[in-house]
Amino acid sequence: MKKIFRLLLPLFLFLAGSDAPKAHTKTASNKSLLWSISGKHMKKPSFLFGTIHIICPQDYIWTPRMKESLKKSQEVCFEMDMDDPSVLMKVATGLMDNSGKTLEDYFTPEQYKKVEAFVRDSLGMNISLFRNMKPAALESMITGKNVACENPVSYEDKIMEQAKADKKEILGLEQPEEQIELFDNLPTDSVVKEIMEIINGKSNDDREYKKLINAYKKQDLPALYDLMRSSGESPIDLAGFLDDRNQRWIERMVEKMDQKSVFFAVGAGHLWGENGVINLLRKEGYTVVPLK
């Protein structure tokens, strides 16, 4: 499930007070993707929404309360500023391999033949498109294939579309270089191994993806958190993808919502747990409550 859990985390390749949430406390009050943030010196409440970066239309959740909260907000903030052309350019550049190697160099001749056939037959693409890209770029395409529908949708795209229609400013919590660094730090041999597991039919990602979608549709953050922790990622990977980023985000969120109401839309995997955004905001003295 290493690849599947990333659908809830970085957006790059497609996300302890006494009242602090406990990872295994699954009460109805915890089952919400949408949370309000208030208190301290805030002039207006802000909102926190957990996304999944790619999802089938029939699984897409957008309640009247979510729509209303987005409407009330003055600004929208994603993991990255998706409305900035320079950000998109940096992402594209970050996918390119500047080591002097081509994609083929990371595989044995036998493996690469299988990769080429898989890309052609399953993705309908020519492997030459990936020649100068990092293996993680190919992995991202294969991960997206687990979304078993012809026209998957993106929460970020939908929210940004509405934000633009309402003439709201779009912001980002981090720079593309920060997300690119996360993937560059993943061992290349592990990425190649995961690619080959999918191609050879040894991956259980389809089953795990269904579990993830089921928990997401129930708006069950503790269940999503448990899936993260059992994903097979090492503690170091999880710290980099989750805890470290959450810690950096808090100061940036506080700065943005100090004067205006902001609708924060980030991968749902960031919300729950001891080091989740909800708990970290509460530690800072903010009131964070679920909205249904």
Domain that holds residue 251: 4-290
Helix (H) or strand (E) holding 171: strand 169-172
Strands of the sheet containing 169-172, edge to edge, are 169-172, 75-78, 262-267, 46-51, 34-38, 287-290
Helix (H, G, I), strand (E, B) or coil at 194: helix
Q: What is the DSSP letter of 45?
A: -
User: What is the C-alpha separation between 200 and 194, in angstroms, rounded?
Assistant: 10
User: What is the C-alpha separation between 228 and 156, in angstroms, rounded?
Assistant: 21
pLDDT of residue 146: 59
User: What is the C-alpha separation between 72 and 259, in angstroms, rounded?
Assistant: 14
For the chain, 292 residues long, give each residue's pLDDT as a single digit of tens: 444 445 555 554 443 222 333 333 444 467 899 999 999 889 899 999 999 888 889 999 999 999 999 999 999 999 999 888 888 888 888 889 999 999 999 999 999 999 999 999 888 889 998 999 999 888 877 776 656 677 888 899 999 999 999 999 999 999 888 888 887 888 899 889 988 988 887 666 677 788 888 999 999 999 988 887 776 554 446 677 788 899 999 999 999 998 899 999 999 989 999 999 999 999 999 999 999 8
pLDDT of residue 73: 97
Backbone angles phi, psi at 171, to 5 degrees: -120, 175
pLDDT of residue 107: 96
User: What is the C-alpha separation between 222 and 219, in angstroms, rounded?
Assistant: 9
Which structure tokens are listed for 54?
């790619």
Cβ-contact 9, 173 below 8 angstroms: no
Q: Where are the alpha helices (DSSP H) in the chain?
A: 64-72, 85-94, 109-122, 135-144, 155-165, 176-184, 188-199, 205-217, 221-229, 235-238, 244-257, 277-283
Q: Dihedral, CA atoms, 158, 5, 245, 243, nearest 10 degrees?
A: 140
Domains: count for the chain: 1
Which structure tokens are listed for 225?
């958190």
pLDDT of residue 28: 47
pLDDT of residue 142: 78
Place of tokens 């839309």: 265
User: What is the C-alpha separation between 157 and 165, in angstroms, rounded?
Assistant: 12
pLDDT of residue 20: 34
